[in-house]
């Protein structure tokens, strides 16, 4: 609902970290609110309150980013690829290339983010108590009196409070939030059926979505318009995401156990990584007129993609001595395992952007290419009455 362009901040362990345009709205609101808060607390205006507000925003979004990295690290340790982490208007999202393969994995990935958030709150809380004592930190958290509360201690107390709020809110069983994923894992463990567990969690998520919308409307009419509108929008997003998950489950039931290997092209045209850029342009790009090619090493391990624009950027005088492997895009989101269930590609952004994804085996060797047309054909075959 708030989709749009995104800005890449950095890459970490092959994970692209981006921010959606809507994130800048929240950044502005957090800085504005916290600037007013610190001006009121300190009884002054100027650069001091603004700097503390800026640090508050950095701390808040840093906490959200660490929360998502918690999900990402545990997912990767369980064989689930992470294409990107995106910050947007309602927090963050780690994009996984496939679903968990067991209730235990689902539970571990779901709880990893809240565990990081809890750790942040505990560490900051202990630091605050160590710096000002229990009574001083308690005063900073609740601002019972404003005398004696420094701006820095108020900043630490606010970050503790906001992380506790994020922790509690995320653990509500409103799929696709973390608590909803925990509910899905438990239902999956009891029933042994992932699809039925997803439907249960999605229906639960829609109930919470409607509750948030109703609560938001009530708050709006009671005079708390900003909080009410925000809560209602969160409810709408949760309701839409849960509804989408339920619809995808219906498709999954029809697709069955079809995976990427069942539909992919097993003989894709590849460029050897040791080939010169000059040869790649002459023998591949000019011959086939394709915008990109997968690049492999001598053992056919997938190295990444080489795009025509990237090859053209290499100075002509250097092309004969430059190897293709030096200019590939290593983004982990460009490939999936060949045993990945086909339904997990339905919302894959890179599949939509490139029109295809590389498929690799368990050892990282390129085993094929799956195109968006092949995925669409499999869906049509599965949904067409026999």
pLDDT for res 332: 64
Pairwise CA distance, residues 381 & 135, whole Å: 67
DSSP string for residues in 36-48 = HHHHHHHT--SHH
Entry pTM: 0.76
Check if the beta carbon of residue 305 is closer than 8 Å to that of residue 294.
Answer: yes
pLDDT for res 67: 97
pLDDT for res 256: 67
pLDDT in tens, 333-350: 788 889 888 877 776 777
Q: Which is nearest to 66 in space by CA: 159, 173, 187, 181?
A: 159
**Tell me, what DSSP letter sits at residue 143?**
-
Check if the beta carbon of residue 332 is closer than 8 Å to that of residue 306.
Answer: no
Residue ranges in the chain modelled with pLDDT below 50: 1-4, 145
Q: Which is nearest to 107 in space by CA: 87, 78, 82?
A: 78
pLDDT for res 386: 52
pLDDT for res 146: 53
> Residue 356 has which token pair?
């295809």
Cα separation values, 43 from 151, 152, 156, Å: 11, 14, 19
pLDDT for res 382: 67
Q: 176 preceded by cis ω (within 30°)?
A: yes
pLDDT for res 2: 43
């Amino acid at each position: 609902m708030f989709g749009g362009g995104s800005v890449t901040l950095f890459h970490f362990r092959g994970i692209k970290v981006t921010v959606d345009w809507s994130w800048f709205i929240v950044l502005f609101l957090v800085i504005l609110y916290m600037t007013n808060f610190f001006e009121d607390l300190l009884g002054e205006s100027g650069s001091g309150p603004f700097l503390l507000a800026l640090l508050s925003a950095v701390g808040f979004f840093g906490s959200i980013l660490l929360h998502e990295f918690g999900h990402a690290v545990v997912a990767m340790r369980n064989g689930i690829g992470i294409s990107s982490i995106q910050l947007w208007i309602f927090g963050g999202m780690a994009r996984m290339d496939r679903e968990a393969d067991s209730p235990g994995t689902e539970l571990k990935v779901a709880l990893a983010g809240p565990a990081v958030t809890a750790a942040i709150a505990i560490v900051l809380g202990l630091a605050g108590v160590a710096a000002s004592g229990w009574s001083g930190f308690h005063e900073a958290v609740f601002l019972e009196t404003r005398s004696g509360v420094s701006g820095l201690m108020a900043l630490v107390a606010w970050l503790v409070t906001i992380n506790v709020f994020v922790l509690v809110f995320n653990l509500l069983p409103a799929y696709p939030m973390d608590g909803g994923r925990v509910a899905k894992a438990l239902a999956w463990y009891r029933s042994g059926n992932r699809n039925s567990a997803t439907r249960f969690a999605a229906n639960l998520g829609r109930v919470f979505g409607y509750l948030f919308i109703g609560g938001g409307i009530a708050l709006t009419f009671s005079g708390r318009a900003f909080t009410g509108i925000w809560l209602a929008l969160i409810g709408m997003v949760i309701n839409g995401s849960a509804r989408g998950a339920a619809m995808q489950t219906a498709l999954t039931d029809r697709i069955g156990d079809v995976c990427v290997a069942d539909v992919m092209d097993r003989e894709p045209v590849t460029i050897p990584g040791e080939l010169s850029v000059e040869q790649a342009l002459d023998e591949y790009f000019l011959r086939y007129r394709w915008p990109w090619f997968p690049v492999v090493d001598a053992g056919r391990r997938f190295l990444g993609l080489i795009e025509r624009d990237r090859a053209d950027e290499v100075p002509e005088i250097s092309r004969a001595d430059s190897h293709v492997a030096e200019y590939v895009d290593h983004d982990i989101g460009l490939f999936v395992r060949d045993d990945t269930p086909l339904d997990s590609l339905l919302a894959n952004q890179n599949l939509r952007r490139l029109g295809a994804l590389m498929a690799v085996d368990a050892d990282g060797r390129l085993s094929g290419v799956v195109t968006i047309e092949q995925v669409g054909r499999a869906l049509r075959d599965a949904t067409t009455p026999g």
